[in-house]
Copies of this chain bind each other. A is one copy, B any other.
Amino acid sequence: MAREQVFNFSAGPSVLPLPALERAKRDLLDYGGCGMSVMEMSHRSPMFQEIFDSTKAKLKAALSVPDTHEILFLQGGATLQFAAIPMNLLEGGAADYAVTGNFSGKAAKEARKYGTVNIAADTSDTGHDRIPRQDELRLSADAKYFYYCANNTIYGTEWQYVPETKAPPVCDMSSDILSKPVDVSRYGLIYAGAQKNMAPAGLTVVIVDRSLLGRELPVTPEIMSYQTLVKTDSMLNTPPCWCIYMLGLVLDWLKEQGGVQGMERIKRERAAKVYDYLDNSALFTAHARPGSRSDMNVTFRTGSAELDAEFVKGAAARGLVNVKGHRIAGGMRASLYNAMPMEGVDALIAYMKEFEVQHHV
């Protein structure tokens, strides 16, 4: 056994593929016999440039990114993009935001500093337990872009369709990128923090339509200008080299698993097992409504805060760690990212069954 066996259901940072970690460990002191760790390489060295270029090529292939779009490897997390997006794309005008959870709400709030925000949808009235239908979206005529968050990590909901909008969609895919095929050509911009399905925390991937470049507000920091970042191939300054390297290793593993098509098949199977159990449980209920449910983050509860706490504690004692829900949603949350083995899902359901037998009155 490579290590103590636990199943890590953390919503992010989260479980990484063991083969990628093993490869990183093997080469940690001495990458390819060069006498240096990847952590010690100049980002301008041919060796690191090769890692950078090949990682970008692997991501382009994995997501079938068309030549109209540029891939950027950045820092700062989704939260920096909440500002970078309106600074780069809003031109002081208006954009439509669908607020379906915590992070899209924060993005909308931040955008108001740089222009006008129209709320195209807001599902807070029902505790963000659903994704709005296409015909519910209030789209404005002059929107520079339509913003949404593909998967709501905290509430466990996920868009099952790509919204039809006149304005280019801008999408936060932090928690479901690489879990299924995506038609990148339909998007103005896609971005994702790496720490769920891609790499350790510290890397943010942005995929942007080149035709949207060059519209920065004058107050935009140079390091946040997409145009500058494209021109310098994400190296206006030193990039987060280790995280980029790790992403390359994760993408090698992803390819061996059948790529995003393979991931989609597996994630459906994983999530269906848990939701099927929840829908037939007399103790547990799923938070998200059918049709809006996330395959990445399954949120559920017993209805009793004490029982929830007992469940979380008992799970941890069995090596099922980080199943506690986010503090603003409560209950439980099982994050089933790409690297979660099916054994982890089976172990979780087995424990839920056992817990239900013990506690159902």
Contacts and interface: CB of A to CB of B under 8 A. Distances in A.
Interface of A: 2-6, 8, 10-16, 18, 21-22, 24-25, 28-30, 33-37, 39-43, 45, 75-80, 82-84, 87, 110, 113-114, 193, 195, 200-203, 218-219, 221-224, 236-243, 246, 319, 321-322
B219 A219 contact: yes
Contacts of A18: 29
Describe A's contact surface by its main secondary structure.
Answer: loop
Given A4-B30, A75-B77, A39 B25 contact: no
A43 B13 contact: yes
Nearest to A246: B39
A30 B110 CA distance: 38
Contact of A8 (B21, B40, B239, B240): B40
A42 B113 contact: no
B110 A222 contact: yes
A130 B25 CA distance: 43
Nearest to A239: B201
A13 B41 contact: yes
Contacts of A8: 35-36, 40
A83 B220 CA distance: 9
Given A45-B322, A201-B240, A34 B21 contact: no
A28 B25 contact: yes
A113 B218 contact: yes
18 contacts: A3-B35, A4-B30, A5-B35, A12-B42, A13-B43, A13-B241, A14-B42, A21-B29, A24-B28, A39-B246, A42-B322, A75-B240, A77-B223, A83-B221, A110-B221, A201-B238, A201-B239, A202-B243
